[in-house]
Structure 1
């Protein structure tokens, strides 16, 4: 559940753009937020807002964009093509956050996207891309030499997107976060779909890997245990999911993790004994075992839930 908007993005304070507003003294020192007031607004309202931004803010001052409500975000894809059209002007754009909406505006699993490949192709110098929501989301394998951080926040990330990320050539990517989510909300990826990512073949600079919020956390942990990408990592994030003692045992039985600076397992279903075992096995690693969970039981069946779903 995401209850608030970001107040800063890539180290810049977020400022909501309004047509006719007085610009900051340095309009390049903020991340510009585009957000229509009415969640039922038609496409022309967001188009007009974007047009006003292009007309009123110097093109070379647009360094970071945060896209909020674009109107009917629960059924109409975020208009990435409008951002692509501005690429010739926004040559200094380095960071984009697509769909910074709260659960009160739209549940994360309802946020609708289309193909975002064109955004990466249009901005070869883009360094940071965050995407919230994954309904209808598509990505084709692409080479992008500038991207340093890629983050998908979802209640369910489609397997085809997971595979596409693994097939991309991203030589500068330092941080990758995949919120895999639940099958109920479109998260149909298996641990096998992570093979491209876990091979590290197209990610030579990767140092921070998140395969989190996963209903299949135990299978992910087992796959990570032998993954070629792990020795080069500094941070491994398997948090927010349904990790149990089975997954933790598989993780510890695999390759050494003592080189990590941090292992994030918060929101887990580990027993106290297994949590203690993990800590004892990794004395030099900052291990986050906060937010221990207890399964729900119904009619004799145990249910474990990811931190973020609908």
Structure 2
């Protein structure tokens, strides 16, 4: 799987490309500039100008914002500073998605992003932050009393990024989604690195947990089978990784999962028998075992890497 199309909705709103002749009702504005027009050390002047025009037209009323290509993301750096400086002109921003970029616009592993954590502190009302990136992708521990949803999409999530997220203070966080990826693209986060999260002491409001796109999916499943955090979850997502029968059997042999409303395992390497056994074991849970990938141990890949 790669990103073939842009998101059509974000934060419950239809995504509308800026500029638009007419808009009916609230939308998530999408600002993009899909041209390379700068050197490797700067933000695209074309994006900078377009975003300035957007701010003048809609900044005061925007609650949800999607940033698409900011030039060619492999060369043009993400407009992090421009976004932070624009905070006073986006006083009502509650949802931000940085990096709605398809594979033909830039592969995820090539995207130059930087440290995205200041986006959280720059917007005091921010409830949702979704970020996508690969190269120079960073995070530092921060605190927010408003953040409820954090989604980090990567083909390889560095352990330093993971540690900084887990070192942050988000008392209102209800949903956390981390795409762990593969070591081939910098994804060196381990199960041990996630132990503070799985231990259940972090983020007391967390109800939806996604540890997706993981090459270590079997190891994660074995750890989750006995992880204290599971008892308070409503939704568990281990999709897009290389989960095999070994991981699924460990999951079923552990603590009860019948309290879950949802268990997402799509894009997996389970046998038909094991997939059926997982569904049968959780009759009151919506279990997604779609997108079987086969069972060849030498041909297993996460859904999104490059």
TM-score (structure 2 length as normaliser): 0.93
Q: Is the 8 A contact 1:39 1:69 kept in 2?
A: no
The answer to whether residue 290 in structure 2 is matched with residue 309 in structure 1 is no
Q: 2:91 is matched with which residue? A: 91
Match of 1:75 in 2: 75
1:206-227 per-residue CA deviation (whole Å, 9 max, x = no partner) reads 1111101111100111111122
Superposed displacement of residue 64, structure 1: 1.1
1:36 corresponds to: 33
Per-residue CA distance 1:93-137 (angstroms, 9 max, x = gap): 001110101111111111121011111111121011111123211
Distance 1:202 1:76, change over 3 A: farther
Provide Cα deviations, 1:11-47, integer angstroms capped at 9, x if missing partner: 22222223xx646366xx1211111131445621111
Q: Is the 8 A contact 2:44 2:77 kept in 1?
A: no
Q: TM-score if structure 1 supplies the norm length? A: 0.92
Matched, 1:24 2:15: no
Is the 1:212–1:239 contact (alpha carbons within 8 Å) kept by the matching residues of 2?
Answer: yes
Structure 1 CA distance for aligned equivalents of residues 287 and 37 of structure 2: 44
Q: Residues of 1 paired with 2:196 and 2:144: CA distance?
A: 16
Distance 1:14 1:244 in 2: 36
- Specify the alignment match of 2:161 in structure 1: 161
In structure 2, the partner of 1:128 is 128
8 Å CA contact 1:166, 1:195 repeated in 2: no
CA distance in 1 between partners of 2:65 and 2:17 (Å): 10
The residue that corresponds to 1:251 in the other structure is 251
Q: How many Å separate the matches in 1 of 2:165 and 2:31?
A: 27
| The 10-residue stretch of structure 1 (268-277 or 122-131) with the greater mean CA deviation from structure 2 | 268-277
Answering whether residue 46 of structure 2 is matched by residue 45 of structure 1, we say: yes
The answer to whether 1:2 aligns with 2:3 is yes
Q: Give the superposition deviation at 1:284.
A: 1.8
The 1:272–1:46 alpha-carbon spacing in structure 2 relative to 1, beyond 3 Å, is same
Partner residue, 1:286: 286
**CA contact 1:39–1:105 (8 Å) conserved in 2:** no
For residues 277 and 34 of structure 2, the distance between their equivalents in structure 1, rounded to whole angstroms, comes to 50
C-alpha deviation, 1:295, in angstroms = 4.3
CA contact (8 A) 1:81 1:119 kept: no
CA shift, 1:146, in A, is 0.7
Q: Distance in 2 between matches of 1:295 and 1:40?
A: 45
Q: How far, CA to CA, are the matches of 2:34 and 2:212 in structure 1?
A: 32
- Between the aligned partners of 2:74 and 2:120, the Cα distance in structure 1 is 23
Aligned residues: 301
Superposition misfits of 4+ residues, deviation over 4 angstroms: none
Query: 1:189/1:173 Cα in 2 relative to 1: closer, same or farther (>3 Å)?
Result: same
Structure 2: gaps of 5 or more residues: none
The answer to whether the 8 Å contact 2:242/2:269 transfers is yes
Equivalent-residue separation in structure 2 for 1:167 and 1:70 (angstroms): 29
Cα deviation per residue 1:56-115 (whole Å; 9 max; x = unaligned)? Answer: 22x331111110111130133311111110112211000111010111111111112101
1:176 matched residue in structure 2 = 176
